[in-house]
């Protein structure tokens, strides 16, 4: 016979309500009681009934909502969230969407009504869209935002923020220290705040070193390989070519590397290339890409943990929202070197 919660309670010598609190990881149970209950759960191989939890109104799953063309980013985020869900006893509902859709708010509302998740992990650009945040607050849905910035922008929810501006500064300063003066910048999708933050860091580094900001070397675009190829061809056709390119992510950087190879531009001897994220693109390319390491899986694990803690705490005061920051670090590889004299 399959063990029940009452069997666990009897073996542990506690009430079944105490067992429920331990299984749901509520903080009100003491360490000694937790250990007794968990020992009984293990001995009986007890498996909580997620359907029963849902009927009682207890959260048994969280959702991951995203709109991002970068498959590596999505996979790392998904794996990170799943890792935390497995540890904490939650299921994961994954919902890709189009953040530009005029029906996005209705779509999210319908998804929430249908899936009855306990909360959401939001990634850019959804996490940075005021209308989405306002709609979730109105519906009283718990959520955690992964977003670009040096700090949490407000206290509406727990946040995991990535300091893209400082990383953008560090990358540009690294290239300047190598002797590069004509440094181009290839941005990502305008809807993503990360692109603007990295651009600000790039400009700040140029200003600090008294280098002119040449707008002809700053090309907006998409976080995509093809976009990197197209824009890099334009830059490398200039009479006064850049000697270094800061690409807003590794896919763009890989596209830049491809364009350079097509045009016969030697990397890194004639052109240094730096990406961002430390995705598989950066390690599989030849030469391997210098980049900024952004630990997406760890970021996702942290976001899921903040969300589950928020669900369990039943926090009502926005001022108590927990936050966690990440600071991408430069990883020097083979695609960059000192500027030719």
pLDDT in tens, 34-80: 888 888 888 888 876 554 544 444 568 999 999 987 888 999 999 99
The pLDDT of residue 136? 94
A 10 A CB-CB count for 15 gives: 11
Tell me which of 257 and 320 has the higher pLDDT: 257
Confidence band for 317, pLDDT divided at 50, 70 and 90:
low
Question: What tens digit of pLDDT does each residue of 265-283 get?
Answer: 999 999 999 999 999 889 9
Tell me which of 124 and 30 has the higher pLDDT: 124
Q: How far is CA 119 from CA 65, 78, 214, 294, 301, in A?
A: 10, 15, 45, 25, 15
Mean pLDDT, rounded, of the chain: 90
Q: How far is CA 145 from CA 89, 215, 321, in A?
A: 21, 32, 11
Query: Is 288's pLDDT higher than 90?
Result: yes
The pLDDT of residue 174? 98
Residue of 337, 165, 167, 185 whose CA lies nearest to 253: 185
Between helix 16-23 and helix 5-12 the angle, nearest 10°, is: 110
In contact, 326 and 163? CB cutoff 8 Å: yes
The pLDDT of residue 320? 67
Query: Is 4's pLDDT higher than 50?
Result: yes
Tell me which of 283 and 17 has the higher pLDDT: 283
Query: How is residue 175 written in tokens?
Result: 């290239």
Give the whole-number percent of the chain exceeding pLDDT 90: 70
The pLDDT of residue 161? 96
3-state secondary structure of 83: helix
This prediction's pTM: 0.82
The pLDDT of residue 54? 43
Query: How is residue 80 written in tokens?
Result: 């990170």
The pLDDT of residue 27? 66
Query: Is 333's pLDDT higher than 90?
Result: yes
- Looking at residues 111-138, what average pLDDT do you find? 92
Residue 327: burial class (beta carbons within 10 Å; 0-12, 13-18, 19+): middle
Query: How is residue 164 written in tokens?
Result: 């893209």
Confidence band for 1, pLDDT divided at 50, 70 and 90:
low
- Looking at residues 233-252, what average pLDDT do you find? 97
Question: What tens digit of pLDDT does each residue of 201-219 get?
Answer: 999 999 999 999 999 999 9
The pLDDT of residue 57? 44
Tell me which DSSP letter residue 288 carries. Answer: P
- Looking at residues 313-337, what average pLDDT do you find? 86
Helical ranges in 160-265 per DSSP H: 164-177, 193-208, 225-236, 250-263
Confidence band for 318, pLDDT divided at 50, 70 and 90:
low
């Amino acid at each position: 016979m399959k063990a029940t919660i009452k069997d666990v309670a009897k073996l542990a010598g506690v009430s079944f309500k105490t067992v429920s609190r331990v299984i749901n990881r509520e903080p009100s149970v003491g360490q000694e009681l937790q250990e007794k209950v968990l020992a009984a759960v293990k001995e009986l191989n007890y498996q909580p009934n997620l359907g029963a939890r849902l009927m009682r109104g207890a959260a048994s799953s969280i959702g991951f909502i995203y709109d991002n063309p970068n498959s590596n980013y999505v996979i790392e985020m998904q794996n990170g969230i799943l890792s935390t869900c497995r540890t904490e006893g939650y299921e994961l509902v994954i919902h890709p969407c189009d953040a530009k859709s005029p029906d996005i708010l209705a779509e999210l509302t319908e998804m929430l009504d249908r899936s009855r998740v306990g909360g959401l992990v939001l990634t850019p650009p959804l996490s940075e869209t005021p209308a989405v945040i306002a709609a979730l607050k109105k519906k009283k849905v718990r959520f955690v935002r992964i977003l670009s910035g040096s700090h949490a922008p407000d206290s509406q929810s727990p946040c995991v923020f990535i300091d893209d501006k400082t990383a953008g500064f560090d990358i540009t300063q690294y290239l300047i220290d190598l002797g590069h003066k004509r440094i181009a910048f290839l941005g990502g999708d305008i809807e993503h705040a990360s692109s603007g933050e990295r651009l600000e860091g790039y400009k700040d580094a140029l200003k600090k070193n008294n280098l002119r900001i040449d707008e002809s070397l700053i090309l907006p675009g998409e976080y995509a390989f093809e976009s990197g190829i197209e824009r890099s061809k334009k830059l490398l056709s200039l009479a006064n070519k850049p000697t270094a390119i800061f690409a807003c992510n590794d896919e763009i950087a890989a596209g830049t590397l491809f364009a350079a190879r097509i045009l016969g531009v030697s990397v890194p001897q004639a052109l240094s290339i730096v990406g961002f994220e430390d995705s598989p693109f950066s390690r599989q390319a030849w030469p391997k890409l210098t980049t900024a390491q952004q630990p997406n899986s760890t970021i996702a694990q942290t976001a899921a943990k903040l969300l589950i803690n928020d669900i369990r705490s039943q926090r009502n005061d926005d001022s108590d929202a927990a936050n966690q920051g990440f600071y991408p670090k430069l990883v020097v590889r083979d695609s960059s070197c000192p500027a030719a004299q």
